[in-house]
Amino acid sequence: MTDTTAFSRMHDAVNSGDLELIEKTIDEVCDPGLVFHAPVPTGVSGLQALKQVWRVLLPAFPDLHVEIQDVITQGDKAVYRNTVTGTHLGDYRNLTPTGRPVRYDEIFVVRQSGGRITEIWGVVDVLAQLRQLGAVEV
Domain boundaries, the chain: 5-132
One-letter amino acid at 83 equals T
* Residue-level pLDDT at 44: 83
The pLDDT value given to residue 42:
67
Q: What pLDDT score does 100 carry?
A: 97
pLDDT score for 43: 77
DSSP string, the chain: ----HHHHHHHHHHTTT-HHHHHHHHHHHEEEEEEEESS--TT--HHHHHHHHHHHHHHH-TT-EEEEEEEEEETTEEEEEEEEEEE--S-BTTB-----EEEEEEEEEEEEETTEEEEEEEEE-HHHHHHHTTS---
Return the pLDDT at 50.
Answer: 93
Which pTM does this prediction carry?
0.91
- pLDDT value of residue 1: 55
pLDDT-flagged residues of the chain (< 50) = none
Is the domain spanning 5-132 CATH 3.10.450.50? The answer is: yes
